[in-house]
Amino acid sequence: MTTALKVRRLQDLDVKGKRVLVRVDYNVPLKDGRVADNTRIRETLKTIEYLSSRGARVVLIAHLGRPKGKPEPKYSLKPAAEELARLLKRPVAFAPDCVGPAAQPVIAALKPGEVALLENLRYHAEEEKNDPAFAKALAAHGEVFVQEAFGAIHRAHASTAGVCKHLPGGIGFLVQKELEFLDRVIGNPARPFLAIIGGAKVSDKLGVLDKLLDRVDCLLIGGGMAYTFLAGQNVAVGKSLLEPDRIADAKKIVEKAYAKKIKCLLPADHVAVRELKPDARAEVTQSMAVPPEMIGVDIGPRTVEFFTEEIAKAKTIFWNGPMGIFETEAFAKGTVAVAEALGEATKAGAVTIVGGGDSLAALAKAGVADRISHCSTGGGASLELLEGKVLPGLAALAG
């Protein structure tokens, strides 16, 4: 596995007839009071059904959004409970709090095989502080703990790390699957191994870029972060997103790639606008440079062409981060083209792994999500694993 830590799996745990506390990642998008994308909920069904079939009383805990340590109705997990009940085709009890007198009766009423979801953990500031008393109160809900929130295991919170001091535990089927796929990237990937890294900020990705250069054969860089890399190569970037304090770091990444004879490709042209408005007139630049009065918002057609060529050659591909402001239809072509190219590469036999909410949304937009080898539910966690970091949620289980 991607970690040297020895952690138990769900199938190694004695769960029969027990109260099982399961940390899930139901940080899902909501629209008009309903779940807009149920991917993260669907991914937990296998673990929930496994526990229910063994007569466990299943107590699910999760967070949603950033309610800043106090209840906010727009961040309620009630819609997630309703969507889970629809997917399971049976009732899911919902508690209006995750600790205290509002939670306890709901859990006490569970019969073997039944499921309850507790209200948003982040309604309590103690969650993100990994408060020992709060962790102990959560742990009191179960006799066994199962970590199934891959999107949260890179955080040392009460529900991911603190509870492990009080309960025996292991990782659920989703986390197992995530680690197994990432092992292909970290362990012994089929080559050529290509990484595509995009998104807005260089500062978020410097560590992983540095580590990837010890593993990949080719690196493609796009998105807002590409302009900091271009500035490091003395290319004019106009009014595009730029992190001036990271230009030197970006330059070092390119120099390291060159020294290791790794292909590191930056955009050769751009879709650019004069102002960031959905109806702004977009123009394609004639070179790597962005005119002084313009803002780069997507990779251009020539970049799409050679990025697609590299994707077609690869046998293992890791993608994290869009190529531009893809949420705006007029600026989405580059990101959608990359998504479609990954779909074709998978069909041709490549192992493709995509992580990060924006990248997954791009796959959905391109209609190719079902053609990717593995869509990771935790972009941050997958990047930290690739960077070689120990994830607190796994370390706590090993401890």
Catalytic residues: 40, 201, 357, 380
Kindly state the tokens that stand for 280. 């702004």
Residue 93, classed as helix, strand or coil, is strand
Helix axes 45-53, 78-88, angle to 10 degrees: 70
Exposure of 349 by Cβ count < 10 A (0-12 exposed, 13-18 middle, 19+ buried)? exposed
The candidate with the shortest Cα–Cα distance to 173, out of 56, 85, 45, 61, is: 45
How far does CA 276 lie from the centroid of its chain? 27
Burial annotation 51-71 (CB, 10 A radius, 16+ → b, else e): bbebebbbbbbbbbbebeeee
**Paired strand residues for 319:** 196, 354
CA distance 290 to 299: 11
Q: Residue 290 carries which DSSP code? A: B
CA distance 21 to 172: 11
Residue 79, classed as helix, strand or coil, is helix
CA distance 213 to 260: 8
Q: In what order do the strands lie in the sheet with 218-221?
A: 263-265, 218-221, 193-197, 316-320, 351-355, 374-376
Residue 218, classed as helix, strand or coil, is strand
Which sign does the torsion angle of CA 390, 391, 396, 398 carry?
A: negative
What 3 state SS string does 137-167 have?
HHHCCCCEEEECCHHHCCCCCCCCCHHHHCC
Q: Where are the alpha helices (DSSP H) in the chain?
A: 39-42, 45-53, 78-88, 104-108, 132-139, 173-186, 206-212, 226-232, 247-259, 301-313, 333-347, 357-366, 379-386, 392-398
**Paired strand residues for 116:** 59, 93
